[in-house]
A and B are shown apart, each in its own frame.
Chain A
Amino acid sequence: MSSRTGKQTIVLERPPVVIGGAAIVGKKEGDGPLARYFDQIIDDEYFGEKSFEKAESRLLRDTLVKTLEKCGKSASDIHFIISGDLQNQCTAANYAFRDFQAPFLGIYGACSTMAESLAIGAVFIDAGAAEMTACITASHFCSAEKQFRYPLEFGYQRTPTAQWTVTGAGCILLGKQGNGPRITRLTCGTVIDMGIKDANNMGAAMAPAACDTILKHLEDTGRGLDYYDLVLTGDLGSFGRSILARLLRDNGVDPGDRYDDCGCMIFDLERQDVVCGGSGCGCSAAVLSAYVLELMNQGKINKVLFVATGALMSPAWIQQGDSIPCIAHAVSLENTP
């Protein structure tokens, strides 16, 4: 049974196994440095649907089906689907799974949703409430632009700290038994608001949340950051990444070269015109489910701290002049001998 250690960390006594994962992404992500790790790259931004909202939903559904296929499982093996996206009321996920018979939990943590989903799924399995859970999130550039920013064809310049919402989805199947990396610790973050009001500077808004969760994780577990082969935030972008590194150093933790950010990895920042890098809950989900999982399964890395970060605002709150509350959840994935 899961137990608590320190202030915010959960120790999983019978650590759930990552049975497998899959990621499907759009064309731009398929032109990026991680292209060969993704299971499918789809050029049509509508994914064969009639609107961007429906495309995002389709993306979630197809990614789950692809994951089940890869793992040799069927939909009836899943005891819970835990999923979220960036649309209002999590509708992409709600509509995606209306034809599945599995119990469904829709969650929202902005770009941190994948870590939140893994945390809930892992505790459910450790508690004996489920044999298998599907943790899956997606984002779509076009539906996110429509909801949070401007129409696609509106001509304007992005600010130097802007990020590019990833069109993609990542799914991870967690199970009680099997081979694969295990989820051993979870550190759920508190809502951190350092007073940043610029919705085009989400990296800077979210970096303190990531810092706080990492510090709490280290304190609660008694581990040093060097315990991990890879510490991965998602998605601070290049500016947020540099600020987080600075915050960690100021707090006596050296991030070294084991630290990277999903938003900086999924795109080539020099070549792909994405300003500070990727964002959206499909970004860290796709990087984790495809790239990180592959590296762990090959044994190239064995201990990963996945720290997904989310900016928990809406356009209405920003227009009313309020600042951006942020969150980060840390998931410790380990290849156990």
Chain B
Amino acid sequence: MSMKVTKHEYQHLVKETMPSSRVLRNVLAAFVTGGLICALAQVFFMGLEGLGVDEETAYMLTTVIMIFLGALLTGLNIYDKIGKFGGAGASIPVTGFSNSIVSPAMEYKREGYVMGVGARMFVIAGPVLVYGIFASVVAGLIYYIWTQVM
């Protein structure tokens, strides 16, 4: 007695009966989480400007503060819960980027600071860095050529 189902039929059955993601809930949670993180950054930015910091430095300092907060909350075992609730809303802002670097660094500490922390730190953020930097180089080149021609 063998199963009376082909690969194709089975994959179709799985696709049809699979529980689906709660899209509306996830989208709303991402909107609220991402929005709150950005609003918090805006508060820091305005505070810095209020202290007389010039605009460009205030932007930079705000980013530094948010990266620090992301790392701190990761170390305190809180950011994973924010990520679980907010999904992309928690991973897209710079705090999520910080989480993606600090979390493997924590996990691989037992394997030592060179082959553990050093080698594994960018295991999640690596692709973002590679393609982010590559894209900025391409954009820079296009901008340069554009300004030379015009």
| Interface residues of A, Cβ cutoff 8 Å to B | 50-51, 146, 150-161, 194-196, 201, 204, 208, 211-212, 215-216, 218-219, 239, 242-243, 246-247, 250-251
Contact = CB atoms under 8 A, between A and B. Distances in A.
24 contacts: A150-B103, A151-B104, A154-B80, A154-B83, A154-B103, A155-B79, A155-B80, A155-B84, A155-B90, A157-B26, A160-B18, A160-B22, A161-B18, A194-B7, A195-B11, A201-B14, A208-B5, A208-B10, A212-B3, A239-B17, A239-B18, A242-B17, A243-B17, A250-B4
Interface residues of B, number: 41
B20 A154 contact: no
Contact of B3 (A158, A159, A215, A239): A215
Given A208-B5, A218-B1, A153 B26 contact: no
A212 B2 contact: yes
Contact of A153 (B1, B86, B90, B99): B99
Contact of A251 (B1, B19, B90, B110): B1
A335 B100 CA distance: 52
B18 A153 contact: no
Chain A contact surface mostly = loop
B136 interface: no
Contact of A155 (B3, B18, B21, B82): B82
Given A153-B74, A157-B83, A194 B99 contact: no
B87 interface: yes
B91 interface: yes
B14 to A, nearest CB: 5
A220 to B, nearest CB: 9
B10 A153 contact: no
A155 B81 contact: yes
Contact of A195 (B10, B22, B77): B10
Interface of B: 1-5, 7, 10-11, 13-14, 17-22, 26, 74-75, 77, 79-84, 86-87, 90-91, 96, 99-100, 102-104, 106-108, 110, 124
Contact of B99 (A154, A158, A204, A247): A154
B18 A204 contact: yes
Contacts of B13: 243, 246
A216 B1 CA distance: 6
A151 B125 CA distance: 12
B21 A159 contact: yes
B1 A155 contact: no
A87 B96 CA distance: 29
Nearest to A53: B110
Nearest to B90: A155
A9 to B, nearest CB: 12
B110 A151 contact: no
Contacts of B80: 152-155
Residue of B5, B90, B108 with most partner-chain A CB within 10 A? B5
Residue of A156, A247, A250 with most partner-chain B CB within 10 A? A156
Nearest to B75: A153
A196 B74 CA distance: 34
A161 B19 contact: yes
A156 B5 contact: no
A50 B2 contact: no
Given A154-B99, A160-B18, A243-B14, A250 B5 contact: yes
Given A201-B18, A208-B10, A216-B1, 10 more contacts: A152-B107, A153-B74, A154-B103, A155-B90, A159-B21, A160-B18, A160-B22, A194-B5, A204-B18, A208-B3
A239 B81 CA distance: 25
A74 to B, nearest CB: 34
A196 B7 CA distance: 9
Contact of B11 (A146, A160, A196, A246): A196
A146 B20 CA distance: 26
B79 to A, nearest CB: 5
A201 B103 CA distance: 24
A160 B96 CA distance: 22
A251 B104 contact: no
A275 B66 CA distance: 31
A150 B124 contact: yes
B66 to A, nearest CB: 15
